[in-house]
Amino acid sequence: MPAGQGTLMDFASFLIQMLNSLQYGLLLFLVASGLTLVFGIMGIINLAHGSFYMIGAYLAFVLTSATGSLFLAILLGIPLTFIVGAFLEWALFSHLYKREHLEQVLLTYGLILIFEELRSLLVGDEVHGVDIPAIFSASIPLSDVLSYPVYRLVISGVCIVLAVALYFVIQRTRLGMMIRAGNHDRTMVEALGININMIYRVVFALGFALAALAGMLAAPISSVFPNMGSHVLIISFVIVVIGGIGSVWGALIAALVIGFADTFGKVLLPDYAGMVVYLVMAVVLLWRPEGILKKG
């Protein structure tokens, strides 16, 4: 970089970078929210969470090609992934609750390999694009040369709605109450005559569907490609740990913090951009070892 070429930005650019941060943070939240539910409430370390995201993106690609509409793809995709999630819980994860984390990690690592191999056999190894739905394909001009794609704003909107809905379900509904109770004391909840197995199945299926929805929504802007899940897996764990394991609000705050750290890190500290996110994690964990919001 030539001398005198300041990295500090003018005010308009600063505002746009704020928007970038917010938008990226909200997308991260969508991916991480499912993980924080499964990890925090059920105590399962699910390395295959990134694969669920990948499955969502490929579903968006396959179903959009078949139906011609991303909306239809999402409408079909959500119940489909919910059912697959419930089946996986029944067939595999329900046997893991009382086991060691190590065994959970082994199973879910194996699932990553299986899902990637299936993806390769069924859809292939090519990079695919998914078209942005026509009504959202416009861009809003922000400066003389830069515009902002409407679709990115739509994703942010969906993320906000989902955050509020998740909060409402968990804090204000009977189902949410049972979920929280099951998190505190599984045996006691069972003794009260609540079918805790069914609750866990629903939570797991919901976690799967949320990750897949994130993949479906992100498909048009991120492209669809092999191993795309591994890119989001680590950042999702970072968010869950920073936010406080099991806390949906915590995950939201953490995702926004990471969004800001990543965006401004890239612009202001380009040589250390890869580290900024993890520095933030280290600082937060030193300050609050349990994460920003403890579970509860």
Partner 1 sequence: MGHNLNKAFKFGIGMALAAGLTSGAQAADDKIKVGFMLPYTGTYASLGNAITNGFKQYVAEQGGKLSGREIEYFTVDDESDPAKATENANKLVKRDKVDLLVGTVHSGVALAMAKVARENKTLLIVPNAGADEITGPLCAPNVFRSSFTNWQPAYAMGKVAAQKGYKKVVTLTWKYAAGLQSIDGFKEAFEQAGGKVVKDMTLPFPNVEFQPFLTEIASLKPDAVFVFFAGAGAAKFVKDYAAAGLNKTVPLLGSGFLTDGNLDAMGDSGKALQTTLHYADGLDNKKDQAFRLTYAKTYKMQPDVYAVQGYDAAQLYGAGLKAAGGDVSKQADVIKGMEAAKIDSPRGAFTLSKAHNPVQDIYLREVQGGQNKVIGIPTKALADPARGCKL
Q: Please identify which residue in the block is written with the tokens 């492209």.
A: 223
* Binding residues for partner 1 restricted to 143-162, rule: CB under 8 A: 143-149, 151-152
CA–chain centroid gap for 294, Å, is 19
Q: Residue 180 or residue 266: which is nearer to partner 1 going by CB?
A: 266
Q: Does 68 interact with partner 1 (rule: CB under 8 A)?
A: no
Q: Does 65 bind partner 1 (CB under 8 A)?
A: no
Kindly list the distances between the CA atom of residue 227 and the CA atoms of 22, 119, 230, 245, 258, in Å, as whole numbers in the listed order: 25, 10, 6, 25, 22
Which tokens in the block code for residue 186? 């599984």
Q: Which is nearer to partner 1, 90 or 225 (CB)?
A: 225
Instruction: Tell me the window of 62-70, 76-84, 90-98, 136-144 that interacts with partner 1 (CB under 8 A).
Output: 136-144
φ, ψ dihedrals at 147, nearest 5°: -125, 165
Residue 291 phi, psi (nearest 5): 95, 170
Give 193: exposed, middle or buried? Use CB within 10 Å, 0-12, 13-18, 19+: exposed
The least CB distance from residue 103 to partner 1, in Å, is 8
Shortest distance, position 184 Cβ to partner 1, whole Å? 19
Residues in binding contact with partner 1, number by CB under 8 A: 58
CB-based contacts of 87, cutoff 8 Å, min separation 6: none
> Counting contacts by CB under 8 A, is residue 45 touching partner 1?
yes
What does the alpha-carbon distance between residue 243 and residue 248 come to, in Å, rounded to a whole number? 8
Contact pattern from residue 75 through residue 114 relative to partner 1, giving x for each residue in contact according to CB under 8 A and a dash for the rest: -------------------------xxx--xx--xx--x-
Residue 282 binding partner 1, by CB under 8 A: no
What is the smallest separation between the CB atom of 242 and partner 1, expressed in angstroms?
14
- The strand pair at 139-141 and 147-149 is best described as antiparallel
DSSP, res 223: -
State yes or no: residue 122 binds partner 1 (CB under 8 A): no
Asked if residue 242 lies in contact with residue 291, where contact means CB atoms within 8 angstroms, the answer is yes
How big is the chain by its Cα radius of gyration, in Å? 20
As beta bridge partners, residue 227 has none
Contacts of residue 52, Cβ cutoff 8 Å, sequence gap at least 6: 34, 81, 85, 207, 208, 211, 212, 215, 229
Interacting residue with partner 1 among 65, 71, 118, 131 (CB under 8 A): 131
Q: 211 or 277, CB closer to partner 1?
A: 277
Q: Which of residues 217-236 bind partner 1 (CB under 8 A)?
A: 221-228, 231
Tell me: does residue 1 bind partner 1 (CB under 8 A): yes
Q: Does 264 bind partner 1 (CB under 8 A)?
A: yes
Within positions 201 to 220, which residues make up the interface with partner 1, using CB under 8 A?
Answer: none
Q: Would you tell me which residues interact with partner 1 (CB under 8 A)?
A: 1-2, 5, 9-10, 12-13, 16-17, 20, 23-24, 45, 100-102, 105-106, 109-110, 113, 120, 125-129, 131-132, 139, 141, 143-149, 151-152, 221-228, 231, 262-264, 266-267, 270-271, 273-274
